[in-house]
Structure 1
Amino acid sequence: MELAISASNGKAGKETLSVSDAVFDREFSRDLVHQVVVAYRNAGRAGTKAQKTRSEVSGTTKKSKRQKGGGARHGALTAPIFVGGGVTFAAKPRSFEQKINRKMYRAAMAAILSELNRQGRLKVVDAFDVEVTKTSGLVAKLKESEVGQRPLIVTEEASEHLYLSARNLPYVQVRDVQGLDPVALVSADTVLITADAVKKIEEWLA
């Protein structure tokens, strides 16, 4: 299939880029994409939450009061019903990692890119960069490109000027091909991608 290449100023050009149907015209699988996105996000979870059981809290196990004549009978104050006592079902450190093989991950990435292309949210440009580190310059360039409120800029190798210029823009993401992930793709209003990055992604996912 052919992808239209726009100029860096946002104007539509006459050039096209020939790409693989397997990567940019793949059938969308909602279940597969959901599974891969959830697995990717879970891999970033710390899983370090920890609470203490009644056997782990610091406190005496001596009977708090006499058995009879003092109201309700109870033993140690480390029980969960007392303030400062242990937790009944205490949380422990755990891993949220889900197994996703390489074939599934690549298929999901291709499905997302194909769906973005069908929805008109994938915009290929000949090149995209800024000459100096200046946020206002990047904002002006994005406004010319008409990429919406949450753009994702994908280049073959993101330059330092481009990365630093976007750092203060909370809804603008910059990725190189190696750092591209499914969460960044699905959360973007428009994916602005260079022609060189398209070919590199095609080699990766084909």
Structure 2
Amino acid sequence: MSLQIPAISNQGTSQALDVSELVFGQDFNETLVHQLVVKYMAAARAGTKAQKNRAAVSGGGAKPFRQKGTGRARAGTTRSPIWRTGGVNFAAQPRSFDQKLNKKMYKAGIRSIFSELLRQDRIAVCDDIMPSSPKTKEFLAKIKDIDAKRILVVTEELNENLILAARNLPYIAVVTPTSVDPVSLVSADKVIATTAALKQIEERLA
């Protein structure tokens, strides 16, 4: 069984695209989608924060003063965390925040997102989205009838004119089927894709 993605066109002719129910007709799995978004955002974290523990700071090779008779609390090293130049307790170390999620769950989550986009009428096909020149004005004319603030454009390949025309527009992103990510899909008010791009997505998620 196939579903139809509505089409938009600036040339007056538009024809809906038949797509597979296996990819665009799945139930919305909120738990899985949340896990997918969290994984993607966690993997984007640098994880480069680092502090020095008592083993990494300099000094401390000898007892700073004698045990008794000074009137001060006894100390065995200047690297102790209670000293001003000492190490940090439970010092942060470089780490990876990436979370495990197998390919089967990833594909199921992306299918769930695309299916929900179709149900909410937030995805459309448009084959004349490509501007003939790298002019922002021309690209704006092509999307002027799209009632959305955040627009995600998915094309089968990166087009230089499209990238240059859209790069100065806030809340508009251009990606290929291989670089589509869950965060961009969820946050987009409208996803505009070419026919070839949607066919590639179907093949990848089938």
Classify the secondary structure of the residue corresponding to 1:178: helix
1:134 is aligned to 2:135: yes
CA distance in 2, matches of 1:196, 1:184: 20
Question: Which residue of structure 2 aligns with residue 6 of structure 1?
Answer: 8
Classify the secondary structure of the residue corresponding to 2:73: coil
CA distance in 2, matches of 1:140, 1:127: 12
Percent of residue pairs bearing the same amino acid type: 49
**Structure 1 residues 144-203: Cα deviation after superposition (integer angstroms, max 9, x where no partner):** 333x22110111112011112222223211011121111111121111112221122112
CA distance in 2, matches of 1:12, 1:86: 69
Question: Does structure 1 retain, via aligned residues, the 8 Å contact 2:16–2:125?
Answer: no
Classify the secondary structure of the residue corresponding to 2:7: strand
Question: Does structure 1 retain, via aligned residues, the 8 Å contact 2:129–2:139?
Answer: no
Question: Which residue of structure 2 aligns with residue 189 of structure 1?
Answer: 189
Classify the secondary structure of the residue corresponding to 1:183: helix
Which shows bigger deviation, 125-134 or 174-183?
125-134
Question: After the TM superposition, which residues 97-136 of structure 1 pair with which residues of structure 2 at under 5 Å, given as runs?
Answer: 97-136=98-137
Question: Which residue of structure 2 aligns with residue 78 of structure 1?
Answer: 79
**Structure 1 residues 37-85: Cα deviation after superposition (integer angstroms, max 9, x where no partner):** 2222222322222221111101233333333333322232221122221
Post-superposition offset of 1:93: 1.8
CA distance in 2, matches of 1:22, 1:201: 12
- Alignment: residue pair count: 203
RMSD: 1.9
Question: After the TM superposition, which residues 42-57 of structure 1 pair with which residues of structure 2 at under 5 Å, given as runs?
Answer: 42-57=42-57
Moved over 6 A (4+): none
Question: Which residue of structure 1 aligns with residue 62 of structure 2?
Answer: 62
CA distance in 1, matches of 2:75, 2:33: 53
Counterpart residue type for residue 2 of structure 1: Q
TM-score (norm 1): 0.89
**Structure 2 gap ranges (5+):** none
Question: Does structure 2 retain, via aligned residues, the 8 Å contact 1:24–1:113?
Answer: yes
Question: Does structure 1 retain, via aligned residues, the 8 Å contact 2:126–2:194?
Answer: yes
CA distance in 2, matches of 1:72, 1:12: 86
Question: Does structure 2 retain, via aligned residues, the 8 Å contact 1:127–1:195?
Answer: no
CA distance in 2, matches of 1:88, 1:101: 36
**Structure 1 residues 121-146: Cα deviation after superposition (integer angstroms, max 9, x where no partner):** 11222331111112333233322333
**Structure 1 gap ranges (5+):** none
Which shows bigger deviation, 154-163 or 38-47?
38-47
Counterpart residue type for residue 196 of structure 1: A
CA distance in 2, matches of 1:70, 1:137: 80
Is the alpha carbon distance of 1:151 and 1:72 closer, same or farther for their aligned partners in structure 2, counting shifts above 3 Å? Answer: same
